[in-house]
Structure 1
Amino acid sequence: MKKLSVLELFAGVGGFRLGLEQTQKYEVVWSNQWEPSTKTQHASMVYEARFGTENHSNKDISEVAAADIPDADILVGGFPCQDYSVATTLQNSKGLIGKKGVLWWSIHRILSEKKNPPKYLFLENVDRLLKSPSSQRGRDFAIMLKSLDELGYAVEWRVINASEYGMPQRRRRVFFLGYHTSTPIYKKLMKAATTDWVQNKGVLAQAFPVNENLEKQQCFSIEEDLVSLSNNFNKDEKISPFENSGVFIKGKVFTAKTFPGFDGKRTVLKDVLQKQDVPADFYISEADFPKWEYLKGSKKEQRTAKNGYTYNYSEGAMIFPDALDNASRTIITGEGGKSPSRFKHVVQTKNGLRRLTPVELERLNMFPDNHTQLEGISNAKRAFFMGNALVVGVVEKIGSALYNVISSLE
């Protein structure tokens, strides 16, 4: 089977592309990266420096015509986490239009307007998507499932913590795959027992095996139109009906809690540390040490808000410095810069306590060393990229499994 052609949306610095191209089974034919809040398009600059400018778009995706996007086998992207509610129906439109600027609806628009929509979807988001918003737990995910159902796709999803499969960072993300009705996978899923798909036969189960226990299994239907779902789904319930794994086909949800089945080699924080060439400004000065210790420590104290309101504040201690014999904590976008912080990583080395370097942050996401190094890109910006990125190894494993299942059926 030939390589599958890929549209990469919300490309960032290219994590999806790296993961898919490492399998040697995919070829990105068009990509888009646009950061609405900045004048200088730093992520797009890095993307173009690594992969070239050909077929790369640095425009607001909501303004790119579907006709200007080439046909491809698969659409991939880690789209921003926003409020996905449905604003309105528009007369004479092909369905429902969500809130302006919410980028899920840009994916929806492209899929609905393309004459030959991609047969497969491979999307990623933060795992709280399955539980948001707090007033209607699970509503946002239900809207996505239903909107994809109306466009002719079945969906399987799984929350994957990269460290539970031996990768160097504890990073939990929900990955979901869409299969168009025209594909052999869709037909296979239609005939499969849903429990068997989630545990064994599905693409995600083949990429990331689970153990035999399935907990909190449930089935339910999503039959309302999108506006009704937006207004009424799971209203005032405390718990989302979506577990960390599931499938959705023809309006029917099967969901269950799965547990990772992995006993292979594990990469830990000390494995990614640079042995030399660490600039002096990454080391913590003695003068700053008490601030770091305070921020990382436990607290029970009275605080006063700007409006004068006094309240009791408490939080537990964090491991300080970070444990070297475990996978790292999740990288966040504020990881860069010298200022003391509760959430930045600090490691003990023979030369003293220090923050993580951009190369170490890249390694925690399984990017090549210095992937984000470019003239005009600060270390803090490089850290920001990694706080937004995904773990490349997760994409590679899912990409390989998806290709293998497709080729076995065609």
Structure 2
Amino acid sequence: MQQLKVCELFAGVGGFRLGLENTGKYSVVWSNQWEPSTKMQHASLVYEARFGAENHSNANIETVATEEIPDFDMLVGGFPCQDYSVATSLKNSKGLIGKKGVLWWSIHRILSEKKKKPKYLFLENVDRLLKSPSNQRGRDFAVMLRSLSDLGYAVEWRVINASEYGMPQRRRRVFFLAYFKGSELYKKLLESESIDWILRDGTFCDAFPVAQTSEKPIEFELDEDLVSVSDNFNPEKGLSPFLNTGICVDGKVSTLKTTPSYDGKRILLSDILMADDIPPEYYIDVNDLPKWEYLKGSKKEIRKTKAGFEYNYSEGSMVFPDALDQPSRTIITGEGGKSPSRFKHVVQTSKGLRRLLPVELERLNMFPENHTKLEGISDAKRAFFMGNALVVGIVERVGTSLFQKISQLEKQFQS
């Protein structure tokens, strides 16, 4: 089977591309990276430096015409978590509009307008997506599933914490795969029992095996009308019905709580640390230590808003310094810079307490070393990239399983 052609949206510094190209089974034919809030497009500069400028777009995806994008087999991307509510446009009672600037609708538009629809989608988001917004839990994911069903896609999803499968970072994200009707994987999913697909036959459980924890799947059907889903999903406003694993075929949802099944090698924070050549500014100044200890510690105090309103504030303590015999905590975008912070990683070394280097943050996301090192790119910006990135090892394993499944099924259907 030939390599699958990939379109990578919201590419960042290329985590999806790295994971897929590591398998040797995928080729990115077009990519887009645009950061709306900055004049300098730093992530796009890194992307072009590593992969070349050919067929890479650094324009707002909302302004890119679908015909400018070459045909592809699979669309991938880690799109922003936003408000996915929809409404009916006044001019056209059937015309659905999402909020301007909500990038899910750019994916939707490209899929809608492509004459040759991609057979596969592979997308990533924060796991909060399954239970947002807080006043109508699960609505956003329901809107996405319904809109994908309307476009002819069956979906399977999984919340994956990279560290639970031996990877060096406790980073929990929801990944979902979608298969276009007529594709072998769509047909296979259609004829499978939902629980069999979730626990044994699906792509995610092949890449990341699971054990069942809830007795049986929760099953329900999404309204056919997208506006109705947006307005009326989860009317009791209780917990989200979407559990950490599930499928949706033609608007019919089956979702199950699963736990990881893994007993292989584990990479710890200590395994990724550099031993030498640590710049002096990465060590914590003794004078700053009390501020670090305060920010990392537990608090119960009265605070004031700007308007003068007093309120009780409390939070628990964090492990300080970070535990070396565990996978690391999640990297966030504010990881860079030397100012004391509750969320930045600090490790104890023989020469004192220090922050993590950009190359160590890259290792935690399983990127090649110094992937983000480029003239004019600060260490703080490199840390920001890794706070936004995904764990490359997850993409690689899912990509491997997906390609194997497609190859096997094509052979079966041909014979």
| TM range, smaller chain | over 0.9
Q: How does 1:187-206 map to 2 (within 5 A)?
A: 187-206=187-206
Q: 1:277 to 1:90 in 2, by over 3 A?
A: farther
Aligned counterpart, 2:347: 347
Task: List per-residue Cα deviations over 1:297-322 (Å, max 9, x = no partner).
Answer: 11111111111111111111100000
Counterpart position of 1:357:
357
1:291-310 equivalences in 2 (<5 Å): 291-310=291-310
State the AA in 1 paired with 2:253.
V
Contact 2:292 2:341 in 1 (8 A): yes
Which deviates more, 388-397 or 295-304? 295-304
| Secondary structure of 2:287's aligned partner | coil
Structure 1 residue 23: deviation in Å? 0.3
- Give 1:125-144 correspondences, 5 Å limit: 125-144=125-144
Residue 145 of structure 2 is matched in structure 1 by 145
Per the TM alignment, residue 95 of structure 1 is displaced from its structure 2 partner at its CA by 4.7
Q: Runs in 1 of length 4+ with deviation above 6 angstroms?
A: none
After superposition, the Cα gap between the structure-2 partners of 1:58 and 1:338, relative to the gap in structure 1 and judged at 3 Å, is same
Instruction: Report the CA distance shift for 1:183/1:93 in structure 2 as closer, same or farther (over 3 A).
Output: farther
Contact residue 154 and residue 178 of structure 1 kept, 8 A: yes
- Give 1:348 deviation, angstroms: 0.1
Deviations 1:117-154 (A, max 9, x none): 11100000000000000111000000000000000000
- CA-atom RMSD, angstroms? 1.2
2:273 matches 1:273? yes
- Mapped to 2, the partners of 1:120 and 1:90 lie a distance apart of 33
2:158 counterpart residue number:
158
Maintained 8 Å contact 2:212/2:257: no
Name structure 1 gaps, 5 residues minimum: none
* Structure 2 residue identity aligned to 1:294: Y
Q: Distance in 2 between the 1:54 and 1:303 partners?
A: 53
Cα distance change of structure 1 residues 135 and 189 upon mapping to structure 2, 3 Å threshold: same
2:16 is the alignment partner of 1:26? no
Does residue 62 in structure 1 map to residue 67 in structure 2? Answer: no
Secondary structure in structure 2 of the residue aligned to 1:179: strand
Matched, 1:221 2:198: no
Larger mean CA deviation between 119-128 and 298-307 belongs to 298-307
Q: Could you tell me how far apart the structure 1 residues matched to 2:90 and 2:139 are?
A: 21
Instruction: Name the structure 2 match of 1:377.
Output: 377
> In the alignment, is residue 334 of structure 1 matched against residue 322 of structure 2?
no
Distance 2:94 2:24 in 1: 37
Name the counterpart of 1:117: 117
Structure 2 Cα separation of the partners of residues 216 and 134 of structure 1: 26
Question: What's 1:77 paired with?
Answer: 77
Q: CA deviation at 1:235?
A: 2.7
Number of paired residues?
410
Inter-partner Cα distance in structure 2 for 1:108 and 1:401: 25
The two structures have a TM-score, normalised by structure 2, of 0.97
1:332·1:387 contact (CA, 8 Å) conserved in 2? yes
Query: Distance between the aligned counterparts of 1:105 and 1:294, measured in 2?
Result: 43
Structure 1 position 238, deviation (Å): 2.2
Report if aligned partners of 1:127, 1:172 keep a CA contact under 8 Å in 2.
yes
Distance 2:70 2:108 in 1: 16
- 1:80-109 deviation per Cα after TM superposition (whole angstroms, max 9, x unaligned): 111111133365698522111100000000
Partner of 1:37: 37
Conserved 8 A contact 2:269-2:324: yes
- Cα distance in 1 for residues equivalent to 2:251 and 2:302: 51
Match for 1:87: what amino acid? Answer: A
> d(CA) in 2 for partners of 1:299 and 1:119?
51
Aligned-partner Cα distance in 1 for 2:47–2:384: 15
Does the 8 A contact of 1:171 with 1:329 survive in 2? yes
Deviations 1:235-282 (A, max 9, x none): 342200000000000110000100000000000000000111110000
Question: Does the CA contact (< 8 Å) of 2:12 and 2:385 recur in 1?
Answer: yes
SS at match of 2:123: strand
Distance 2:230 2:5 in 1: 34
Aligned AA (1:246): G
Say whether the 8 Å CA contact 2:88–2:95 is kept in structure 1: no
Partner of residue 179, structure 1 = 179
Of the structure 1 ranges 321-330 and 226-235, higher mean CA displacement relative to structure 2 is found in 226-235
- Which aligned pairs between 1:8-19 and structure 2 lie closer than 5 A? 8-19=8-19
Question: Distance in 2 between the 1:12 and 1:54 partners?
Answer: 16
Q: CA offsets per residue over residues 200-244 of structure 1, 9 Å max, x none?
A: 100000010002444562100002411111111113422000000
CA distance in 1: counterparts of 2:113 and 2:166, whole angstroms = 40
Task: Give 2:413's aligned residue.
Answer: none
SS in 1 for 2:83: coil
The match for 2:390 is: 390
CA contact 1:358–1:379 (8 Å) conserved in 2? yes
TM-score normalised per structure 1: 0.98
Distance in 2 (CA, whole Å) between partners of 1:320 and 1:219 is 43
Report the Cα offset of residue 333 of structure 1.
0.2
In structure 2, how many angstroms separate the alpha carbons of the residues matched to 1:321 and 1:185?
A: 47
Report the AA paired with residue 237 of structure 2: E
* Structure 2: distance between partners of 1:193 and 1:314: 47
Distance 1:241 1:305, change over 3 A: same
